[in-house]
Chain A
Amino acid sequence: MKKNVTITVNGLEQRATVEPRLLLVHFLRETAGLTGTHVGCETSLCGACTVLMDGRAVKSCTVLAVQADGHPVTTVEGLANGAKLHPIQEGFWEEHGLQCGFCTPGMIMCSHDLLDHNPSPSDSEIREAINGNICRCTGYQNIVAAVKNASRKMSKRVPARAGAR
């Protein structure tokens, strides 16, 4: 029995009729056509699929599309403002916080949640905050540097919550 859902993704309303078992990550990738959110394990253990729902980080492989009905969702594609990168994206670029890039969208969205609630996290707070997100390339060190870089940049700006657009 299919269900109608309306999910606002990156500020754009997406309406679709979906199977109740459809995962939010598949809704984003297949229905909304936003493939920046990656599937790394489908069991909520790797964090590659992390997006913001109601401004909070969720693993979209363990949220059903029907659960997201009526909620705003932000994916990595929704962070940059036109050609202007989000400070977290800049941080990852400047600090070499990525190599193969597959975990990166999830890392960025998870960091977004952290910085929303803790604008100046310590190294260990960053490491704890991203411990639900796995990276096999970087050894995490430059990801920590990237989040700190973003934290420094964002503390100089008017706070902007991507999920609240």
Chain B
Amino acid sequence: MQPHSDEDSSSIHHDSIPSGDTSVWADVSPLLSAACFDLQEGQLINGDNFHLFAAMSALEIMDPKMDSGMVSTFYSIDEAIESGFAPVPISSDSIVNVQSIIDIMDHLLACEATWHMGHSLAQTVFSCIYVLRPERTSSQALLHSYCRVIRSTCRAVVSVVSDARTNEEEDLFTMTYGLPFSGDEDAKGLLLLNAVEETICRQLRACKATRRRALEDAELEPLQTNPHLEESFCKALLCRIRFRKHFLHAINCMKRPQGRGLELARKHIAYCITELDSVLESAEFLRLDIVENGENGIEESTTASGRSPIGFDPTLNKRLSAPTPPRAIKLLSWKKAIDYYVKLLHNLDQICVFSLEPDLDHVLQFVIQFQNSRPDLVARAHLQLLLVQDGKLYGRDTFLTICARSLALDVSKNHGLHMNEYILQLNQLMINLLKILCANTPWQRRKLGKILNDWRVFHVQMGITVGQMMQGDSSRASKNGDKSLIILNHIYGWLDEQINWVAIRFLMLGFDLDLYSSSEYCMVYWYMYIILWKLAERARFRVLIIVNTEERKAKRNKEYSRDMVREDRISLWVLFLQCQTSLAQGLAVMIAALRNEGMCLKTEGPFNTENEKFIQHFELLQKASLPEYDAYESFSESTSHARLDYLPMYEYFHDAQKIAKDIKVGYANDPDKLAEVRGLEKVAERNIVAVNLFCQDRSLKVSFEFTHHPYFATAVVRRS
């Protein structure tokens, strides 16, 4: 029991916390301590409604991990300001002033990058008092405009990410509750920053012209007093300001509807990258006096100079986020923040160069390629916003048009189709699929597994309806030139291909997430083979439809020019799938043979049977009838008799190798795809060699590596 002291309580509670009208606050501390003294160990004084379980969820006051209200350095932002924590101007010494502003800029960059990585704004960017209260710095144009632009940028990014809702896994990102997010004042920041940039530019020119004298002649007020340092300071500031400016422009351009601002955004992105280089270069100059002081730890520092910045306190806002304090976060270092921005800008650039072709195959390929570099939240949000706008692809084409186009069908005459309930549903499924493909890898895989079932249910329902319609009035439809039914029928067939595409993406992402152990590769490749085979089959069927339609069109209209580029692209895609199919089949058989001959681990572990593991991995696929039969039974039947001297195994790899060789020419213009095909070819080649070695010497040790392709393993043989 704490002794009760009157001084502590007198000022605040009697004055400011009202008791009832005719009642007073009576001190019960002595009574409580007396009661506690009388209580038995473990005894409680509690009412009837007391539940120990519920009481466990009480917030513990003064526990640093639970009580966000605990008074830390300052009681409030106002108090921090009054105590001179964030002075304006920062220093009366102009050199220190400029240096401090640069430190603040650098630290804010690190804060912003940390925020992008999924932490809350309150703990990162808004831990800066100058950003929280920009009106205080209105006399300091440089700091003021920079902070305003930071705020505008944060707003722009929050709006992109919350529109795209790609942040489900990083849900702190868009939380701005309680933060001063007034847009109007911040909008002026960019104008101000431009003016500041101009002034510093003139100063820099003056420095370069005749150094000291020019500065004195022109009525320019130097940034600081030491003329020898002026040029470097000007440069260091300019690149930071310009980066901010172009970054905000780039983000705003990319937000324009239908991808209209992408070209301009690209220019701004290029500027940003160059400015970042200059920012990096400026570190040498900024670090000069620090190095002399012999300080180290620059790598971990959040500023270029290595000094800690003025005016930041992450605890100031912590009560805004939740009753419990947020976890303490570690800010990215300045260097890592710059690396992050370089990556972000490259990802954004990738989006900007994307040709907005209304071709679904092309879009899906692009998204997959884009995701390969594991882009972060902000870039993914931008891609998603670009792809899906107003329920249309790029905000331009309906998904009916897109799907029909991938079958070389023209739906422009069939207006009724747009209102067809299946088409409306298809639209929704496609939007969902594209959004999921823009999510981060774990989330993406989980969601893909879940939507498989939706797609299958939709497919079955559509099949029933279309079947009935076909039987009912096929004759009437063809007479009046309404091709709706034919289109629906083709889309029905195409759906099956799409379902298999989702399934294979789901399986392959398992490799990205390291979900498969090497003892399970056999079943994974077997399953991939089943799905790939079906997918390739379906895609081949689609090629036939396209070629057929195009030929008919060409016959009817002599001047009709066939879209050979697309035809070739799809044919190539089919071959690519066939190559992967052979490879998956070869790997499944090879690993099964190795297992049967006792050269590699069995799937059986002490805990789960092979069947259980099979179900764990592929339950979602089986629920979506992929394949329609009992997959495990088929798997164990087809793999139990595999032997190393089983000749077709070589053929699978040889087939894959041959197809890969053939399609390399077709992908000559696409370096990423070409590299992947080369990878597949190498996998086939190495595995043939490995199989030969196994056959000669069965005492060899086998392991699997993913050196040539992320999803297709290469067998590595070791003696001993």
Q: Answer yes or no: are A and B bound together in one complex.
A: no
Interface residues of B (CB under 8 A from A): none
